Structure 1
Amino acid sequence: MNHPALLVMDMQNGIVSRFQENQTMMNAVQKSVEVARQKGIPVIFVRVAFSEGYPEVSPKNKAFSQVQQMGGMTVSEYATQIHESVQPRTGEPIVTKYRVSAFAGSNLEVILRAKQIDTLILTGIATSGVVLSTLREAADKDFAITVLEDACADPDSEVHRVLMEKVFPRQATVQTVDEWVKTLDSIHAQETN
């Protein structure tokens, strides 16, 4: 039997605010969190945030140097807190990363190893950002991976489609939240027989 964890990535106020009209995706993320909790699957929240003064930001980093110039996105600000629709419960880790991948500069891998997690279920915003980067790094670290297609979103729907249909299946199982739930129910039924 595998040991999965659900990663809820970049579902933070400053990012979710740009996708709140996508209620289908928001509902899918909420359902994935609820199901994981019901099934005893650890839920780990990942956010991007920086220390005051941005010591983690290199001027060579095109995306994050813009954040530094505009200000915001520090660890204590509202924009970097997990969105109320998927609030962490006591004991559910909130991992702070300093780059695009959930592994980059964070303690995620230490938490996964401590919990003997070998399978990652990925949700989050954006498909072409944190989901893609985390999937690639997780595959290189030999984790089994499932991406919950409808619990991810991207500003470009065509990029989302291409990643889900053509890129991600090379390294991960791509399922909807409902398909994932059926898989979990099937595994549970087999274990009880």
Structure 2
Amino acid sequence: MTDPRPVLLAMDFQHGIVERLGDDAVLAGARKAVEAARAASIPVVWVRVAFRPGYPEVSASSSFAGLVGSAGDAMTMDHPATAIHAALGPREDEPVVVKRRISAFTGSDLAVVLRAARADTLVLAGISTSGVVLSTLRQAADLDYRLVVLSDACADREAEVHRVLLEKVFPRQAEVTTVADWAGTLTTAP
């Protein structure tokens, strides 16, 4: 039996979202976080949002209704826009979790994957800070995970919202740090 360990969650780094944000710095930050996790033998779990054709998971009253209504098939499982960005690409041994809502936990098998990994700490990176990162952080805190947010591997369309979340909201439930500072605490695996 191995000790519990951290898991890096790389969330919503998919083509459509990365390209809509247009921030290469967050992609570079995510790439550095993934490289540091791999070097330290920390599992990387990829999270993406996608739906079945016709969006049967989305009710008319859902907050997703407007988004998917204008997306055509661009938010479906097999559409290139929902694939993990090619600059990051998951390895074959890294699970890709598909979620159906904003939080990485909702409508996915993330809890099962984390339990199998014996995770006790979640290291969060994602787009957007006010979406998947906030929602996942809140739910993970309620599930008693220790939390780390990688500030330069998160981004939001609204710079001020991003700043307030990182400086005022997240520190109440998580350690907020940079990728470089987090990577500096890791031990490289033999």
TM-score normalised by length of structure 2? 0.93
Please state how far the C-alpha of 1:2 moved relative to its aligned partner.
4.8
**Structure 2 matches for 1:27-176, cutoff 5 A?**
27-62=28-63, 64-70=64-70, 71-72=72-73, 73-176=75-178
Aligned partners of 2:90 and 2:180: how far apart in 1? 22
**Richer in helix (by share):** 1
Query: Aligned pairs, how many?
Result: 184
**Structure 2 matches for 1:176-187, cutoff 5 A?**
176-185=178-187
How big is each residue's C-alpha offset from its partner over 1:82-135, in whole Å with a ceiling of 9 and x where there is no partner?
Answer: 000110001111100000000001000000001111110000100000000000
How big is each residue's C-alpha offset from its partner over 1:122-169, in whole Å with a ceiling of 9 and x where there is no partner?
Answer: 001000000000000000000000000000000000000000000000
Aligned partners of 2:128 and 2:160: how far apart in 1? 13
Whether the 8 Å contact between 2:4 and 2:118 is mirrored in structure 1 is: no
Please state how far the C-alpha of 1:67 moved relative to its aligned partner.
3.0
Aligned partners of 1:130 and 1:66: how far apart in 2? 18
List alignment gaps of at least 5 residues for structure 1.
189-193
Equivalent residue of 2:97, what SS?
A: strand
Aligned partners of 2:24 and 2:113: how far apart in 1? 31
Equivalence for 1:19 = 21
Letter in 1 for 2:182: W
Whether the 8 Å contact between 2:100 and 2:107 is mirrored in structure 1 is: yes
List alignment gaps of at least 5 residues for structure 2.
none
Shift >6 Å, 4+ stretches: none
Please state how far the C-alpha of 1:74 moved relative to its aligned partner.
0.4
